Amino acid sequence: MTRYGKEFRVNWRALAGATLGLGSGLSINGYAHSIMAPYLLAEFGWTKAQLALIGSIYILGMISIPLAGRVADVIGARKAILFGLIFYPLSWVGMSMLTGDIRLYYAINILQLLLCATTTTTVYCRVVAERFTAARGIALGIMACGPAIAGAVGAPIFAQYVAAHGWRTGAVAFGIFCALAGIVALLLIPPFRAAPAGTTPRRNAAKDYPAILRNPVFWIIFSSAFLCCIPYALAQSQLNVMLLDKKLSPTAAGLIISTFAIGMMIGRFGLGAALDRFPTHWVAFTGMAISGIGLFILASPVTHVAVLILAVGMFGISFGAESDIMAYAVVRYFGMDNYSTVLGLLIAASGGAMTVGAILLSIILERTDSYSPFMVMAGVAVLVGAANLLRLRTVPVLEEKPDPAPALPGKPQPASI
């Protein structure tokens, strides 16, 4: 059996649990909010600019996500997941009780971000990364497909359910789904076999954080993540509204949104497999740059559904590839000791970028009532950020890529993971 196959056979439960957990946690918030957005605008009379401002709360992710990562490094990923698993479904029950005051909508979104960060890639990636070596890239890609699968399969179903039963009932149903799926995920993930006592140094924040921040590669990835994530404020809650502005039918817009999720799966699975075989910097550049092209197409006057499907799919590919690339690069350049701590800081860059993007989008919509200027600006930022990742070609790695080929007869087999 190849080392690839052996790792999947031994660790399938952890991978399945992480995939299901990620696909039923905070990472799928954007799909649900995007589908509900037109109903909230119609019922409460909120403006598109007010709704776009919701993306500004992602600045809080610069606190909550690194904190969640640090907690996972100190107490273990499985224990860290439990807290967010409890609150996230409850937040959607609260969402069903909105009365029209947009400040309450903002407050629920803020609480989701602060209290549910342990259900995101910051924590679930550690579950996978600490168990896989030869197949780490593809395993991370499979896990990261959890939200994309939920979006591709669940978004049309959820959209139809909300249309038939109302957004309030839809919010409660969504919360119940997340609770049940999260419980199953936690039961699937086995406790990780820690190193014997005394062999692993106790985590010391006073030493760990300065060492991370002094590392040049951290700033290469951090700056690229920031630039490439500026357009993601559009994906969080405005994608459906933007497509409807092009005079598309709700059915066509829903189909295109599901294509975004399919693009995410292609980006995460395809780029994950590529990371195991090709230089990290070239995979990272390709995976992130493609969304810039998609954004330029979306900014154009084109309204042909097939072209928009292509553009949104390209946007989705980069959206999916971004977290997989960061999760893989952290192991390559930083190792596992502070894995979630480093990953949390890098994901914080994404949250900061989405905050900046949301504020810019809100200002642009207020002044022009058009999404096109924002998408052009964001497309340029993405291409600059992607090009910056090519600097990783000169950075030494801590872990060489293992040979995934079958072992030769008589050759000692690699140790079991």
Neighbouring CB atoms inside 10 A of 152's CB total 21
pLDDT tens-digit readout, 244-262: 777 777 777 777 777 887 8
| pLDDT bucket at 338, cuts 50 / 70 / 90 | confident
More confident residue, 290 or 145: 290
- Is the per-residue pLDDT at 36 higher than 80? yes
Phi, psi angle pair for 11, to nearest 5°: -115, 20
Q: Is domain 7-192+206-392 classified as CATH 1.20.1250.20?
A: yes
pLDDT mean over 85-96: 92
The region of weakest confidence among 37-46, 198-207, 258-267, 340-349 is 198-207
Domain ranges of the chain: 7-192+206-392
| pLDDT bucket at 119, cuts 50 / 70 / 90 | very high
How many Å apart are CA 259 and CA 252, to the nearest integer? 11
pLDDT of residue 177: 92
More confident residue, 261 or 74: 74
pLDDT of residue 203: 62
What letter would DSSP give residue 54? G
How many Å apart are CA 142 and CA 138, to the nearest integer? 6
Residues 6+ apart with CB under 8 A from 209: 341
- Is the per-residue pLDDT at 308 higher than 90? no
> What's the token pair of residue 51?
């709704």
pLDDT of residue 412: 37
Q: What's the angle, vertex CA 159, arms to CA 153 and CA 163, rounded to 5?
A: 150
pLDDT of residue 415: 32
Neighbouring CB atoms inside 10 A of 405's CB total 10
pLDDT of residue 194: 52
pLDDT tens-digit readout, 160-191: 899 889 999 999 999 999 999 999 999 999 88
Q: Mapping DSSP to helix (H, G, I), strand (E, B) and coil, where does residue 402 land?
A: coil
- Is the per-residue pLDDT at 41 higher than 60? yes
Helix and strand numbers, DSSP H then E, in the chain: 18, 0
Residue 69's identity, in one-letter code, is G
Q: In the predicted model, what is the mean pLDDT of the chain?
A: 83
pLDDT tens-digit readout, 363-380: 888 888 888 898 899 999
pLDDT of residue 399: 62
Q: Mapping DSSP to helix (H, G, I), strand (E, B) and coil, where does residue 372 land?
A: helix
pLDDT mean over 16-45: 88
Residue with token string 């031994």: 10
How many Å apart are CA 204 and CA 201, to the nearest integer? 9
- Is the per-residue pLDDT at 411 higher than 60? no
Asked if 355 and 57 touch (Cβ cutoff 8 Å), the reply is yes
Residues 6+ apart with CB under 8 A from 374: 231, 234, 357, 360, 361, 364, 365
How many Å apart are CA 116 and CA 118, to the nearest integer? 5
Q: Quick one: how far is CA 48 from the chain centroid?
A: 24
| pLDDT bucket at 224, cuts 50 / 70 / 90 | very high
Neighbouring CB atoms inside 10 A of 232's CB total 24
